[in-house]
Amino acid sequence: MFESPSKKDVKKAEDALKSLNMYHMKDKCYTEISGGERQLVFIARVLTQEPRVLLLDEPTSYLDFGNQIRTLNIIEKLSKNGFTVVISSHFPDQAFISATKVAIMKGTKFIDIGTPKEVITEKNMEKTYGIKVKIVEIDNRIACIPLKI
């Protein structure tokens, strides 16, 4: 418990940083990096534990648009590399960007489960959030736009 990290531990940490394209930052102080970079550090920390399943609660919270997309791209890459990734999010657009399967919950009940296109519908969004939305496709990207009440 009070030992220094072994060479094997250091190698795992370096490999995790490399897999997230962050190795160049390995000597930076945590307080000197951006919110997006911190989020990636959290993911790297998890990867050093060599999990098979990642449970991520709002992994893009407090990130700007660029870092949201970067984080979602990394999560998608991890999924393609064999990790099972479960994400909670209040942003339906993120499911269109990175998910293969989606479940919508309201309270403690599932409303629907399936692919993003099957589940994230105008009807389901209104049922879940109590507002009207428009699902649109722009340049091969689907988006969920909340309509003004």
Residues paired with residue 110 on neighbouring β-strands, in sequence order: 105
Inside any domain, residue 53: no
pLDDT for the residue numbered 89? 92
State what percent of residues in the chain have pLDDT above 90.
40
Q: State how many domains the chain has.
A: 1
| CA distances from residue 84 to 51, 53, 70, 73, 75 in whole angstroms, order as listed | 9, 5, 19, 15, 10
137 domain residue, yes or no:
yes
Check residue 35 and give its pLDDT: 81
Tell me: the pLDDT tens digits for 91-122? 999 999 889 999 999 999 999 999 999 999 99
Residue 110 resides in a domain: yes
Helix (H) or strand (E) holding 55: strand 53-57
Within-domain flag for 145: yes
Q: Which amino acid, 9?
A: D
pLDDT in tens, 39-69: 888 888 888 988 889 999 998 888 888 888 8
Question: In this structure, is residue 67 part of a structural domain?
Answer: no
Q: Considering all CA atoms of the chain, what is the largest pairwise distance in Å, rounded to the nearest integer?
A: 58
- pLDDT above 90 (res 82): no
Asked if residue 1 has pLDDT above 70, the reply is no
Q: 109 lies in a domain?
A: yes
Q: State the residue range of the domain holding 109.
A: 100-149
Query: What value does the mean pLDDT take over residues 71-90?
Result: 89
